[in-house]
Amino acid sequence: MRYLSTRGHADRKQFCEILLEGLAPDGGLYLPEHYPVVDAATLSAWREVYLKQGYADLAFEILSLYIDDIPADDLRALCRKTYTAAVFGSPEIVPLKKLQDAATDASQAGFYLQALSNGPTLAFKDMAMQLLGNLFEYELARRNEELNILGATSGDTGSAAEYAMRGKKGVRVFMTSPNGRMSPFQQAQMFSLLDENIHNIAIDGVFDDCQDIVKAVSNDLAFKRQYKIGTVNSINWARLLAQVVYYFAGYFQLPESATGGKASFTVPSGNFGNVCAGHVARMMGLPVHQLVVATNENDVLDEFFRTGVYRVRVGADTHETSSPSMDISKASNFERFVFDLLGRDAAQTADLFGRQLSDQGFFDLSAHPAFQQAATRYGFVSGKSTHADRLQTIRETYQRFGTVVDTHTADGVKVAREHLTPGVPMLVLETALPIKFAATIEEALGRPPERPPGFDGIEALPKRVKLMPADVALIKAYVAEHAH
Ligand SMILES: *Cc1c(COP(=O)(O)O)cnc(C)c1O
């Protein structure tokens, strides 16, 4: 399998070549030349693999269709090392929890949460990042190279990256975050890591300042080359590929999967990475009826799926919400889907995401024949949720089912209910655990969420964090001093 750029002007590359890269050199995103399609016999064989041998072996089956340049035995070993019950909390790795009671319309085939948040940092990003850590270590050792990951986080990404890379040979992490803006739990999670290869940098500023610093450093090509600077952001194809696996694993846990029946997924969305993996799974032949994109007040994606207009928000139009990991002004993975939607026309994709977005800040596909196909052919629908919806959904889900959902998952549950199809089970992806966003849970339920075992008192652990001004030169000097 080779990989091409959505903008059509980059060389075709193999998996390990793009593993350590961000954007393609032409500014596009990498995608496989084609999606391998699996037939009913393969689906039922994979179902057996998952149910009898486990998630890691299912991951190997799927990944091996996309990765030619890692020997099969090594790839299987990497999957088995990553997806263990010890790290992800259960043998199923991504277990389903049914939310159904007598009050639910009997014609519904089932409403489920798919738990993706029982990894080390209690958010779904661990599912991909843990694999990425092992892939990086493997590939860097093979090349005898090192990598310094420079990132910006408002919470979930940074801690998932640090827990995945801690103690890994050849990798160092320099993670900037806005000082004092993450939840106390998130700060404790990140700053209590004392591993030598992990550097927390609290920036005196907001998240955008952190992102600007990372961009400025990445644009200094000489510095980037000298200090082997890399990223782990959500446009990395390996992250997206790792997420494809749990759509299959979710489906295989349904009774319908024995007969090839369909299921729908609702995905709390920000940068469109998670739901794009669902799109890939569907293109591979997973029987997905609908992919429901759930947004919060930052409804860039909902607006597109409703109207055909994709309008990037300016800073002042980007809201700080109680589901902060979905607070985006643009969806960095969206270009991948639009490329497929336009029949993989790279020239048109480059025109939309290159010229039109930079000239006018939006593009409009409402009159394009492809736009209707987003729903009819690709199964995409969408909805939006607000702070009031979130509180109401958290309360109701607790009262009816005794289950506390986090704020992002609540957005998913709210929007999923608006898109139920009789006879089709609905799986809502649970993207974080409530303890990460305790203040809003307390607002909804009048008491703080439960703390999973092993997280007691983490706020009191010793912290290692460097406080710095939002100054590119100083950050560069810090990286240069510690990047060896
Ligand atoms: C990152 C994140 C999301 C958004 O996922 P995307 O892949 O960016 O769409 C949703 N919920 C939580 C809790 C997250 O951490």
424 Cβ contact list (under 8 Å, min separation 6): 109, 261, 262, 263, 264, 289, 290
What are the Cα distances from residue 253, in Å, to 15, 25, 110, 260?
Answer: 30, 40, 12, 12
Percent of the chain with pLDDT over 70: 99
Angle, in degrees to the nearest 10, between helices 207-219 and 472-482: 70
| φ/ψ (deg, to 5) at 65 | -75, -20
pLDDT bucket at 210, cuts 50 / 70 / 90: very high
The closest-lying atom of ligand 1 relative to the alpha carbon of residue 273 is 7
Angle, in degrees to the nearest 10, between helices 40-48 and 55-63: 150
Distance 332 CA to ligand 1 centre (A): 12
Query: CB–CB of 252/55 below 8 Å?
Result: no
Measuring from atom 2 of ligand 1, which residue has the nearest CA? 325
Distance 128 CA to ligand 1 centre (A): 12
Separation CA 333–CA 343 (nearest Å): 17
Please tell me the chain's helix, strand, coil percentages from 3-state DSSP, rounded to the nearest 5.
Answer: 45, 15, 40
Of 12-16, 59-63, 212-216, the one with minimum mean pLDDT is 212-216
pLDDT bucket at 211, cuts 50 / 70 / 90: confident
Largest CA distance in the chain: 64
pLDDT bucket at 102, cuts 50 / 70 / 90: low
Q: What is the pLDDT of residue 182?
A: 86
Q: Tell me the catalytic residues.
A: 125
Distance 270 CA to ligand 1 centre (A): 6
Distance 167 CA to ligand 1 centre (A): 25
Best probe residue, ligand 1, of 291, 337, 408 (max atoms within 8 Å of C-beta): 408
Give the up-direction half-sphere exposure of residue 185: CA atoms within 13 A in the CB hemisphere. Answer: 20
Sort 162 into a burial class: Cβ within 10 Å, 0-12 / 13-18 / 19+: buried
The closest-lying atom of ligand 1 relative to the alpha carbon of residue 125 is 15
Q: Please state the three-class secondary structure of 84-109 as a single string.
A: CHHHHCCCCCCCEEECCCCCCCCCCC
Query: CB–CB of 232/174 below 8 Å?
Result: no
Tens-place pLDDT, residues 225-239: 999 998 888 899 999
Query: CB–CB of 113/97 below 8 Å?
Result: yes
Checking if the pLDDT of 108 tops 80, the result is no
Distance 445 CA to ligand 1 centre (A): 23
- Of 315, 317, 309, give the one whose Cα is nearest residue 360: 309
Q: Please state the three-class secondary structure of 357-377 as a single string.
A: HHHHCEEECCCCHHHHHHHHC
Q: What is the pLDDT of residue 355?
A: 95
DSSP 317: G
CA angle 124, 125, 128 (to 5 degrees): 110
Q: What is the pLDDT of residue 105?
A: 62
Q: What is the pLDDT of residue 407?
A: 98
Distance 144 CA to ligand 1 centre (A): 33
The per-residue pLDDT of the chain, averaged, comes to: 94
Best probe residue, ligand 1, of 207, 296, 325, 329 (max atoms within 8 Å of C-beta): 325
- Of 248, 298, 282, 309, give the one whose Cα is nearest residue 411: 298
Tokens representing residue 349 in the block:
């994709």
Distance 431 CA to ligand 1 centre (A): 7
Which ranges constitute the DSSP H helices of 107-259? 125-143, 156-165, 184-191, 207-219, 221-226, 237-252
Q: What is the pLDDT of residue 36?
A: 98
Distance 326 CA to ligand 1 centre (A): 6
Checking if the pLDDT of 136 tops 70, the result is yes
Checking if the pLDDT of 67 tops 70, the result is yes
The closest-lying atom of ligand 1 relative to the alpha carbon of residue 409 is 11
Taking residues 319-326, report their average pLDDT: 92
Separation CA 172–CA 323 (nearest Å): 29
Query: Between β-strands 309-311 and 362-364, what pairing exists: parallel, antiparallel or unpaired?
Result: antiparallel
Q: What is the pLDDT of residue 107?
A: 60
242 Cβ contact list (under 8 Å, min separation 6): 59, 63, 127, 128, 131, 132
Of 21-35, 47-61, 465-479, the one with minimum mean pLDDT is 21-35
Checking if the pLDDT of 63 tops 70, the result is yes
Taking residues 2-30, report their average pLDDT: 93
Of 320-334, 335-349, 428-442, the one with minimum mean pLDDT is 320-334
Pocket of ligand 1 (CB under 6 A): 123, 125, 156, 234, 268-274, 325-326, 408, 431-432
The closest-lying atom of ligand 1 relative to the alpha carbon of residue 328 is 8
Sort 239 into a burial class: Cβ within 10 Å, 0-12 / 13-18 / 19+: buried
The closest-lying atom of ligand 1 relative to the alpha carbon of residue 160 is 15
Taking residues 180-199, report their average pLDDT: 92
Taking residues 192-219, report their average pLDDT: 91
As a residue count, the chain comes to 484
Sort 398 into a burial class: Cβ within 10 Å, 0-12 / 13-18 / 19+: middle
Best probe residue, ligand 1, of 246, 272, 274 (max atoms within 8 Å of C-beta): 274
Angle, in degrees to the nearest 10, between helices 438-445 and 387-401: 70
Tokens representing residue 122 in the block:
């209690």
Percent of the chain with pLDDT over 90: 85
Q: Which helix (H) or strand (E) holds 408?
A: helix 407-417
User: Which residue's structure tokens are 């099969």?
Assistant: 72
DSSP 432: B
Measuring from atom 14 of ligand 1, which residue has the nearest CA? 325
The closest-lying atom of ligand 1 relative to the alpha carbon of residue 332 is 8
Checking if the pLDDT of 104 tops 70, the result is no
How much is the pTM? Answer: 0.96
Strongest mean pLDDT among 103-112, 136-145, 181-190: 136-145
Q: What is the pLDDT of residue 440?
A: 96
Separation CA 192–CA 188 (nearest Å): 6
Best probe residue, ligand 1, of 185, 431, 435 (max atoms within 8 Å of C-beta): 431
Best probe residue, ligand 1, of 156, 405, 435 (max atoms within 8 Å of C-beta): 156
Taking residues 172-180, report their average pLDDT: 94
Q: What is the pLDDT of residue 48?
A: 98
Q: Domains of the chain by range and CATH? A: 91-122+238-445 (3.40.50.1100)
Three-state SS for 241?
Answer: helix
- Pairwise pLDDT comparison (181 vs 168), residue with the higher score: 168
Distance 355 CA to ligand 1 centre (A): 27
